[in-house]
Homo-oligomer: A and B are copies of this chain.
Amino acid sequence: MSASASSSSPSPVLPDRQVQTADSVLSGKEDEHGGVIVEMSTEPIDPIMFNSLLKASMIHWKQQGKRGIWIKLPIELVNLVEPAVKEGFYYHHAEPKHLMLVHWIPETINTLPANASHRVGVGAFVMNENGEVLVVQEKSGKFQGTGIWKFPTGVVDEGEDICDAAVREVKEETGINTKFVEILAFRQSHKSFFNKSDLFFMCMLQPISFDIQKQEREIEAAQWMAFEEYAAQAFVQKHDLLRYIVKICAAKRDGKYTGFSPVPTITTVLKKQSNLYFNTKDLNS
């Protein structure tokens, strides 16, 4: 929905209207926590007029006892960022084409929800019937030119499931088709990427095809390698995390390890599907 000026008693969702009077306020939608969300359309507004509207709105919302005020500014309205910040708003989060600013009105402790804090990455353990694992060498990043062979890894895209991301990354990097089996382990680390946190999921995938076609842009080389040869690399031996991963993969290969498998669940109200990952073997036995 787009925001526009309205009369001084805004309803939760308002259609676009022209500016009426000097004491108009911005229209917004009420959230579940006593706050207001204002989504600005991309139509230009003079910053001075926006400033007046914003001041009038803040007075109005304070009188109404509103708590968190959110303003979503598309990048086309970048000239309104400064007026908003000068009125006491701070940054909440940003996406390529918009900036979300927020202002906490009450004097009580700020309980506004935090922004997304984690990037989510996946690694793929793909073993064929000969006990060989799928490994790659990368053209850029910290492994570039080191000669180190690693499992295919990547970052999940926006809105993408972990299990789908793992299958996609293997397909993109090596051309191998796979079926997701389970999550073997995951690691949480902090202060990694621009001070954000990181969740890395080590996934086991079953190969469905076997002819490698490496991705030209990012992959220097890709091959099926004897698992023991992968594990024996000095790089793997020196890294705590990788030594554990190797042990877990070996146990899985030997049929002695159970991880978390995805089970689709449906939310009651919105009928959205989401995957619940857990030890299905234990629950079913």
Contacts and interface: CB of A to CB of B under 8 A. Distances in A.
Contacts of A259: 278-279
A94 interface: yes
B120 A117 contact: yes
Interface string A256-272: 11111001011110001
Interface residues of A, number: 86
Interface string A100-121: 1000000011010111111110
Given A155-B113, A193-B113, A241 B276 contact: yes
Interface stretch (A14-22, A53-61, A75-83, A170-178): A75-83
Nearest to A144: B32
Interface in A53-93: 75, 78-79, 81-82, 85-86, 90-93
Given A33-B140, A75-B90, A199 B120 contact: yes
Contacts of A117: 116, 118-120, 156, 158
A181 to B, nearest CB: 14
A279 B186 CA distance: 10
A60 to B, nearest CB: 22
Given A116-B118, A187-B277, A240 B258 contact: no
Contacts of A118: 116-120, 199
A116 B196 contact: yes
- Which of A157, A251, A258, A279 lies at the interface centre, i.e. has the most chain B CB atoms within 10 A of its CB? A279
A155 B113 CA distance: 8
25 contacts: A34-B140, A81-B81, A91-B94, A91-B95, A95-B115, A113-B155, A114-B157, A115-B119, A115-B196, A116-B117, A116-B118, A116-B119, A118-B118, A118-B119, A118-B120, A159-B191, A161-B188, A186-B276, A188-B275, A199-B199, A241-B267, A256-B285, A258-B258, A258-B282, A259-B279
